Chain A
């Protein structure tokens, strides 16, 4: 099978994720969309590694997984604590960081 198809799939997944981040309000869904984008990247990395016959892409994919896992831990903790104080998981309800 032509490995380029995997690249198309990665692009598709990335687009879905990006659209989800921009459109959805629920913090959990936004968060999952971010994960989706990360995984799309991973897929692309692995595909390119295969195409170029090198190991670099696969190593970066592992790095990304570690980062994603760390992000899940911190991110979910923040979302839960925001939900506890504000009783809402909508990203549009929090704008404390404006100047």
Chain B
């Protein structure tokens, strides 16, 4: 038997979570170092997985399969395709970065008496637990196995949101918001997150059971060849899609995201939007499209319209937000609209673009959110109105914030542009009107990013901002790799596309679809032409 590489990749952070959580509460430094060590080890393993993966080879590679619950045909079955590989790598890259950015977030109590120190071990252990569950969800090729971890990741996430709020270095700004109020709002947001996602999971559970009853298997490769009746396929598709649309989130199931991201720490917010939510869009690609091709094509018009609404709605609402983190949350809703648009364009441009978009959005949102977190913890407030003229006192912070913002608005040369272009092109190929409507989103994206930058960074220096310090070395170490990735993938995204394209080809053949041909190909027009 070959070495179970995929199991180990998920098991290492899981073990790290247990060990970090079990360390005595007093040994805070040890807990952080341990967690970071495990996160880096996971990164190495993810890199090995990427290296061992052969684009253009079998659809699922590095497979492992063991019987688990034979009575229901449930297997412990892992395997990665190109899409899963890049997402596993993204997760493994983001975790150490997020941890480094959150290095002191669990140190002092955000509110309340100083002796109630928050357990650093628990904070970093929960992060590792999320990483382990997300990785195994990406790797699972058994529907039931996937479902278990899809649901289980809610538990550590709930505790991260509810237990650890934004930490402020300085004095909290007097914004008429006492510590208790914020704590209450935070636990409300955590409960809302949990209930929303549990509801989605419950509906999905029903669909999972129905799937087994109809197809007598949980294995993805086997299910691809199963024949379901049209009605059953559509109903089961809807059950899956509902859960993924809650997680992704798609309008109108989005309202848990701004609260959850606004009330948690910046690091947690990045985990929510850049890591955990990606499982939803990933699952649409792997399960909805591949297992239920007929139903996907049937639902496409509605999903595309909802995606366009998400894009415009999220962007417009981002413009009027008063809180930096909520603004980024609404921007993410808009971006998830783009991703879903690409997935359901049902052509290779859209799906490759959507996969690339997941990667790029993870990086750009992490950059924007983490820098915003640095900014917020310095000022002691997340309200845009409390800032102004930051570029004067903290030019590096302002500069990197601008670059991250420009990436968010998809400026060519930075990573998100390539993916956004491919997604829009895919949508335009599917239905020109949808493509044009979605393109309008780029204007609103420019609006919310530039308004945010203008109000916080430019103009005269505001009162509470005068003593703001520029980025520290640790913080630059967080931002620099993200910036480098944004630039590199903006100029040369082909390495990622090379891994993703063959897998998208498999999805396309599962869908029985081919890319639309140009209506008036050039070759025919200049046949015998003078040029």
A/B contact in complex, CB under 8 angstroms:
no
Which B residues fall within an 8 A CB radius of A? none
Which A residues fall within an 8 A CB radius of B? none
